[in-house]
């Protein structure tokens, strides 16, 4: 077990917490919300799910510090989900910034075997390696000038082994003494692999859809989850705009409407639904009413920095295996 220096946001006393750090899809700026990123705090350790625009500052403003960070999970390699990974690493590394001084992990998809040029395009490991190479001068200077640990020795990238395209298998990607993380492939063509993640802890569970069209495998992963964080697209917004047929097809075939998110939450038996990763523009009331037409549980239209306590009678992580 790693030694973690504890620091908890003063306004939160729940041992398990979801923070929607940013809720906007991209790469486009159509409002004031930060780009898609979420954090899960389990006791005094936190984990990241995606690293969208603004994530680094959002983490800090949420009271989270790199010294308590353990692992980050990337749902897929679209730029709006990973653009701020370099900044997150550089701003959360070393004692001078209350950053990590022990190894951390970044887990995400490997290369795309379905893409005609996939073998020459970066997966998560190469993306992290390119980041470390791009900032190698800065990292070297700070390691000696500011007594920080060697960044390359601290950041460990791991590409998630996934089943074949079309599989609905639920598979384990990570486990430590606080959390077990499982995943399924979801439908986000032409991206492969695109992943949904479920985090089970002694205090409850949170499931993240990632980017996906309506997906029964996701509903299976999210069975009885305490919170389902699901993307939502407003297709009418794009239909009214000057967007190409190809772009409209992507929104239609690769994303889920709020009504669809409600259907998945209902199928999963999720205890609550948090809408996030908003593609297109709509009012909070419109997002919520659309989801409520297909789901009768608690619905929240997430905003950047929103905190959700997740709680039930404590179990053990070992019991979740």
120 backbone dihedrals φ, ψ, rounded to 5°: -105, 0
In this prediction, residues 242-270 reach a mean pLDDT of 97
pLDDT at 168 over 90: yes
pLDDT at 311: 78
Please choose, from the candidates 134, 189, 133, 122, the residue with its C-alpha nearest in 3D space to the C-alpha of residue 159. Answer: 122
pLDDT at 5: 32
Average predicted confidence (pLDDT) for the chain: 94
Which band of pLDDT confidence, cut at 50, 70 and 90, is reported for residue 287? very high
Per-residue pLDDT tens over the stretch 210-232: 999 999 999 999 999 999 999 99
CATH 3.60.15.10 is right for the domain spanning 16-309: yes
pLDDT at position 101 over 70: yes
pLDDT score, position 3: 30
Residue % of the chain over a pLDDT of 90:
93
Q: Report pLDDT digits (tens) over 175-186.
A: 999 999 999 999
Give the number of C-alpha atoms closer than 13 A to the C-alpha of residue 147, restricted to the C-beta side. 3
Alpha helices in the chain (DSSP H): 55-61, 79-82, 85-91, 124-134, 136-145, 151-154, 216-221, 235-240, 245-254, 258-268, 284-292
Q: What's the pLDDT score for residue 13? A: 74
CB contact set of 282 (below 8 Å; sequence gap of 6+): 234, 237
pLDDT digits (tens, 9 = 90+) for 2-57: 232 334 444 557 999 999 999 999 999 999 999 999 999 999 999 999 999 999 99
């Amino acid at each position: 077990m790693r030694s973690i220096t504890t620091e908890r946001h003063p306004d939160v006393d729940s041992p398990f917490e979801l923070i929607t750090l940013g809720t906007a899809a991209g790469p486009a700026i159509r409002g004031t919300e930060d780009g898609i990123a979420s954090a899960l705090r389990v006791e005094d350790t936190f984990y990241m799910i995606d690293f969208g625009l603004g994530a680094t500052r959002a983490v800090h403003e949420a009271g989270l510090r790199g010294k308590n960070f353990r692992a980050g999970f990337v749902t897929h390699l679209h730029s709006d989900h990973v653009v701020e990974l370099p900044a997150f690493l550089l701003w959360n590394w070393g004692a001078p910034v209350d950053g990590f001084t022990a190894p951390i992990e970044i887990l995400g998809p490997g290369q795309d075997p379905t893409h005609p040029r996939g073998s020459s395009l970066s997966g998560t490991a190469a993306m992290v390696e390119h980041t470390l190479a791009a900032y190698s001068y800065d990292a070297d200077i700070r390691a000696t000038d500011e007594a920080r640990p060697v960044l390359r020795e601290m950041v460990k990238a791991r590409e998630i082994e996934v089943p074949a395209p079309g599989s609905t298998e639920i598979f384990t990607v990570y486990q430590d003494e606080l959390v077990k993380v499982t995943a399924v492939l979801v439908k986000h063509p032409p991206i492969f692999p695109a992943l949904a993640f479920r985090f089970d802890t002694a205090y409850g569970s949170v499931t993240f859809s990632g980017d996906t069209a309506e997906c029964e495998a996701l509903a299976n992963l999210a069975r009885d989850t305490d919170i389902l964080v699901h993307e939502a697209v407003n297709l009418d917004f794009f239909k009214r705009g000057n967007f190409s047929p190809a772009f409209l097809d992507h929104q239609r075939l690769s994303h889920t409407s709020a009504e669809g998110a409600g259907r998945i939450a209902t199928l999963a038996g999720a205890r609550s639904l948090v809408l996030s990763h908003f593609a297109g523009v709509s009012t909070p009331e419109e997002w919520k009413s659309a989801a409520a037409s297909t789901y009768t549980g608690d619905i929240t239209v997430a905003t950047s920095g929103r905190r959700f306590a997740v709680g039930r009678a404590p179990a053990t992580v070992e019991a979740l295996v």
